[in-house]
């Protein structure tokens, strides 16, 4: 099975949790400058648990679909849990092998969410 499995294309065409959250405590964006993939994320935390997450972005199917899949996965999880996620976890979520040349695309979403959670000043609710 290749990376353009039905699941990936489905998330690319109809991304889940797409949009923004007005009044979210956490807002962050990241980009792969070399290819122009862009992602921005809004996160609402309640007692260190993600109570809502929404994203917007443009770019390749891998970067956008991976983010859509991730937002579904991290909903309701703790900050600590999310910060510990590694690439192999993402790879399992995607359900298809990611080649070396697409690693940067696949990992952008995870990086965006983790860096958002690491930002200073979002300790309190």
Partner 1 sequence: MQIRKNFPLLKNKISNKQIIYFDNSATTQKPQIVIDAVTDFYENKNSNVHRSINPLAEIATREYEAARIAVRKFINAKKNNEIIFTSGATDGLNLVANILGKGVLKKDDVIVLSMAEHHANIIPWLMLKEAIGIKLEYIQIQKNYRLDIGQVKRILNNKKVRVLSIQHASNVLGIINPIKDLINICKKNNIISIIDAAASIAHTKINVQSLDCDFLVFSGHKIFAPTGVGVLYGKEDLLNRLPAWKGGGDMIREVSFEGFSVAELPYKFEAGTPHIAGVIGLGRALEFLESMGFKYIKQQELILTRYFLKAISKLNFIDLVGPFNIQDRLPIFSFSVQGVHPHDIADLLGERGIITRAGHHCVQPLHDKLSLPATLRASLSFYNTTEEIDIFVKEIIKIHKMFI
Q: What residues make contact with partner 1 under the rule CB under 8 A? A: 2-4, 9, 12-13, 34-37, 58-62, 99, 101-102, 105
| Residue number, 4 or 87, with CB nearest to partner 1 | 4
Distance CA 72, CA 83 (A): 16
| Residue number, 38 or 79, with CB nearest to partner 1 | 38
| Residue number, 33 or 124, with CB nearest to partner 1 | 33
State the nearest-atom distance from the C-beta of 38 to partner 1, in Å.
Answer: 8
Q: Please, where are the H alpha helices in the chain?
A: 6-13, 61-74, 79-83, 87-94, 103-118
Q: Which residue has the tokens 């970067």?
A: 63
State the nearest-atom distance from the C-beta of 9 to partner 1, in Å.
Answer: 6
| Residue number, 22 or 101, with CB nearest to partner 1 | 101
State the nearest-atom distance from the C-beta of 61 to partner 1, in Å.
Answer: 5
Helices (H) and strands (E) counted in the chain, each on its own, are 5, 3
State the nearest-atom distance from the C-beta of 66 to partner 1, in Å.
Answer: 13
Which residues have CB under 8 Å from 114's CB, separation 6+? 82, 83, 85
Helix 87-94 × helix 103-118 angle, to 10°: 120
């Amino acid at each position: 099975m290749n990376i353009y499995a039905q699941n990936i294309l489905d998330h690319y065409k109809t991304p889940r949790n797409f949009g923004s959250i007005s009044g979210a405590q956490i807002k962050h964006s990241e980009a792969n400058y070399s290819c122009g993939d862009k992602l921005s994320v809004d996160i609402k935390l309640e007692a260190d648990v993600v109570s809502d997450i929404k994203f917007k972005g443009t770019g390749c199917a891998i970067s956008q679909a991976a983010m859509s899949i991730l937002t579904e996965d991290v909903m309701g999880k703790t900050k600590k849990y999310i910060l510990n996620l590694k690439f192999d976890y993402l790879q399992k979520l995607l359900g298809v092998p990611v080649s070396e040349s697409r690693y940067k695309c696949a990992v952008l979403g995870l990086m965006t969410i983790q860096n958002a959670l690491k930002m200073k000043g979002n300790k309190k609710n």
